[in-house]
Every structure is written in C-alpha cells, then in structure tokens.
C-alpha cells in the first residue's frame, strides 16, 4: 500500500511539473486545448471577461471610407490679385533708385491659397469670403487633377461665406450633413490644402458648439474642433464620420500661425442658407430693427436695479427706424425675439437676422420694473452700418 501511494505521489508531482513547464513555455497549447471544447465557430480569443454594467463596443479603427467619400469634393483654390499701382511709378527719381525692381513689384500678382467644397453637380462651390476677397482671378484644382477658372457668384462678409461656380462635367458633390444632430465629442475630419502642400485629412472631435463673440464675423455660430486646421485649410470641409459635410473651416486660434487644436467652422446650415440667397437673389436677405446693442453685465443690471440678469441692453435706437416705431427705447433690455431667448449681442443679431423683412415680430423687453412685449415691423438689413442716435 505504501509503495502504491509513493508511485501515485511521484506521478502527480511529475504531471504538475510538466504542466508548469508547458504553461510557461507553450501557453498556446493549453489555449488550443481549452478552445477545442467550445462550440464550433467560437475561439478562446472571443471570450473576454466583462464587468457587470459595462458596455461592449467595437471602436472604429479607420475613417478611410469617410475620407474617400468626401475628399473628391474638396478643391484647392489659388487666387491672384494685381497690386495697386504706386503713385510714384512714373517718378524719374523713383525709377532711378529702384529701377527694374520697382517695375517688377508693380507687375507681380499677389498669390493666395485656400480650399473649397463642391456642393452641387452644377458646379457650385462653397468657400470663405476672405479666401477670394479682392481677387482678380480664381482658379480651382480638383482632387483628380483637373483645373478650371472659377466665377464668383456672390459673397457675404457678415458670415465669411462665398459661392463660386466652375464649368466642368462629372463633378463630385459632397453630401450635406445634419448639424442639428451634432454633439460635442463626435468624431470629425478636416479636409483642405494646408500651406499649399496638397489635399490633407486630419481628424479630431467636436470640441464645442455655438461659439460666438470671437470677433471674427458679424454673425457667429461656430463649430469648434481640435482637428488640425492650418493656413490654407480655410474654405475646406469639416465632415462627420460618414463623410457628410458639417461645416466650412474658417479660422484657427493660434499664437504661432500653426494649429493649436482650436479651430472654428461655419455650420453647413448657415453656409447653405447663405448660398441659396446668393444664388437666387445675389444677396442674403436678413432682418433688421435699427438698434445698437450691448451685452447686459451683472454690474449694469445691479446699477439699474433690473430684475433680469440675462439679456441685451439697447444703448441706441435709430430715429424713425423699425424698433423706434415699435416703441423701443434706449435702456430697454431685450430678453426674447419672437420665440428665441437672447442672452448676448451675438444671439440678438442672429435672431433678428433670421426674421423675414416686412413682417411683424414680437420682441420682449425689460424696461425697469416692467416687462413689455413690443410689436416691431422688421426691415431688411442694410449693407452698410447705419449710425444711430442716442
């Protein structure tokens, strides 16, 4: 009996030693052995421990499909502008001191680079106004290598949107996305021609929505992103993970001239509205009431003992203008335009601009202790700012 027990103990010891060696040197042998007992079509690598309450997701490892879908519709834009003629160009002394160099400077055009997005098979393109502003000639180059002169259909400096048109066949138009569904954290791609190196795709996320009061445009409602946007990307496309157009890349915050991870894009909903107005009427029709607004600060609200803490203080009203005719006075605080609450100047301008000219709108104001609703007949926003009387 003792001999039998000794043989059994030695066998178990040898078996444990062999198992240890195999587990250390050839662990895959054990995995294959364990996997052989699983149902057909399931491997051991597919069985992962999951904590209770955790979600299982399959992260996207590539956005190549979105890039392939959107990139053909993004173009590089090159503009040229002849320099202004110097008043001393015919001065003999000027010619004597500067000679051929002066003549060369007078003849060399100024070159600008940017990007654009083809939005219709008929040849319409969206870009930034500052990309083509003052240009004598505009040339676009497609991703397939084709080049063409572009015609300026119209531009809107208030939103920094411009519309171009090219006469080419078989143009790849981008698909418009839904900006109302965009959320902070969504993956986005920025496509353009930074520094003139050629079409480039960078990735990031939506960092913020509704950015305004940046001093870039009159009407601001930017999508902020950390996707790398550099000089030359202006006018290019900001697209979602499916390659649909969400915005037109417009500006960056930078202390060095390069990307610091803070870029701004005009929402495609705004760009599309501007484009349709420029194509149809040659201009963008916006509402206007003739006031000079200022943000209501807590200090101002406390000084005037106002019961509201948010709104827009009216510091000036144009005499015989729409707001004046509707009963608005300097010192009123606008808190709502039609059904849209307003908390700052940018929101007021945007809300009023969205109103249709020659229609009546109810504007809620706080006048001291009184809450009033004024009926104002909206006028069309003039192209040049109008001086208001205080």
Q: What CATH code is carried by the domain that includes residue 331?
A: 2.30.42.10
274 lies in the same domain as 183: yes
Number of domains in the chain: 3
Q: Are residues 210 and 194 in the same domain?
A: yes
Could you tell me where the DSSP H helices lie in the chain? 2-25, 27-35, 64-70, 92-107, 129-132, 268-281, 298-303, 322-325, 345-353
pLDDT along the chain (390 residues), means of 10: 66 69 61 45 38 51 91 94 63 57 60 92 95 92 94 92 94 92 94 91 93 79 91 93 94 73 90 92 88 88 84 91 93 92 88 90 91 92 53
Q: How far is CA 61 from the centre of its chain?
A: 24
Pick from 303, 304, 361, 299: which is nearest to 332 by CA?
304
209, 227: one domain: yes
Q: How far is residue 276's CA from residue 176's CA, in Å, rounded to a whole number?
A: 14
Residues 138, 112 share a domain = yes
Task: Indicate the DSSP class of residue 114.
Answer: E
Domain identity same for 297 and 366: yes
Instruction: Specify the pLDDT at position 369.
Output: 86
The answer to whether residue 253 is domain-embedded is yes
167, 171, 165, 168: which is closest to 72 by C-alpha? 171
Cα distance between residue 130 and residue 128, in whole Å: 5
Q: Which of 165, 190, 225 is the last residue of a domain?
A: 165
Residues, the chain? 390
Instruction: Let me know whether 248 and 263 are in one domain.
Output: yes
Do residue 98 and residue 155 come from a single domain?
yes
296 is a domain residue: yes
Give yes or no: residues 239 and 193 share one domain. yes
The verdict on 311 and 240 lying in the same domain is: no
87: in domain: yes
Domain of 263 in residue numbering reads as 179-280
Cα–Cα distance for residue pair 347/340, rounded to 1 Å: 9
This prediction has a pTM of: 0.69
| Residues labelled catalytic | 130, 160, 234
What token pair was written down for 387? 């001086």
Return the residue matching tokens 């700052």. Answer: 344
Identify the H or E element spanning 112.
strand 110-118
Exposure string over 18-50, b if 16+ CB within 10 A, otherwise e: eeeeeeeeeeeeeeeeeeeeeeeeeebeeeeee
Whole-number pLDDT of residue 299: 86
Q: Is residue 26 part of a domain?
A: no
CA dihedral 154, 229, 136, 143 (to 10 degrees): -90
């Amino acid at each position: 009996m003792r001999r039998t027990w000794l043989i059994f103990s030695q066998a178990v010891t040898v078996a444990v030693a062999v198992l240890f060696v195999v587990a250390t040197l050839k662990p895959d042998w054990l995995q294959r052995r364990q996997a052989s007992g699983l149902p057909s079509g399931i491997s051991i690598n597919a069985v992962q421990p999951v904590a209770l309450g955790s979600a299982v997701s399959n992260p996207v490892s590539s956005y190549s499909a979105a890039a392939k879908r959107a990139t053909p519709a993004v173009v590089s834009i090159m503009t040229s502008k002849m320099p202004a003629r110097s008043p001393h160009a015919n001065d003999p002394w000027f010619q004597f001191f500067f000679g051929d160099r002066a003549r060369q400077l007078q003849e060399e055009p100024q070159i600008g680079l940017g990007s654009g997005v083809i939005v219709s098979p008929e040849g319409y393109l969206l870009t930034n106004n500052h990309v083509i502003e003052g240009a004598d000639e505009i040339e676009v180059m497609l991703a397939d290598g084709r080049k063409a002169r572009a015609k300026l259909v119209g531009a809107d400096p208030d939103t920094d949107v411009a519309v171009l048109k090219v006469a080419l066949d078989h143009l790849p138009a981008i698909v418009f996305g839904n900006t109302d569904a965009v959320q902070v954290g969504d993956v986005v791609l920025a496509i353009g021609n930074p520094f003139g190196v050629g079409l480039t795709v960078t990735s990031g996320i939506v960092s913020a929505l509704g950015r305004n009061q940046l001093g870039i445009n009159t009407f601001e409602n930017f999508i902020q992103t950390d996707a790398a946007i550099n000089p030359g990307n202006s006018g290019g496309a900001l697209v979602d993970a499916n390659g649909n157009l969400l915005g037109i890349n417009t500006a960056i915050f930078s202390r060095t001239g390069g990307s610091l991870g803070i870029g701004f894009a005009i929402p495609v909903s705004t760009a599309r509205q501007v484009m349709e107005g420029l194509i149809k009427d040659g201009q963008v029709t916006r509402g206007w009431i003739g006031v000079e607004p200022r943000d209501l600060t807590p200090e101002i609200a406390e000084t005037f003992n106002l019961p509201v803490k948010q709104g827009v203080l009216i510091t000036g009203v144009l005499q015989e203008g729409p707001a004046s005719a509707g009963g608005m006075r300097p010192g009123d605080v606008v808190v709502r335009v039609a059904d849209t609450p307003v908390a700052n100047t940018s929101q007021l301008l945007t809300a009023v601009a969205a109103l249709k000219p020659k229609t009546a709108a109810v504007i809620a104001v706080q006048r001291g202790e009184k809450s009033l609703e004024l009926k104002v007949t909206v006028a069309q926003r003039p192209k040049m700012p109008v001086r208001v009387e205080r």
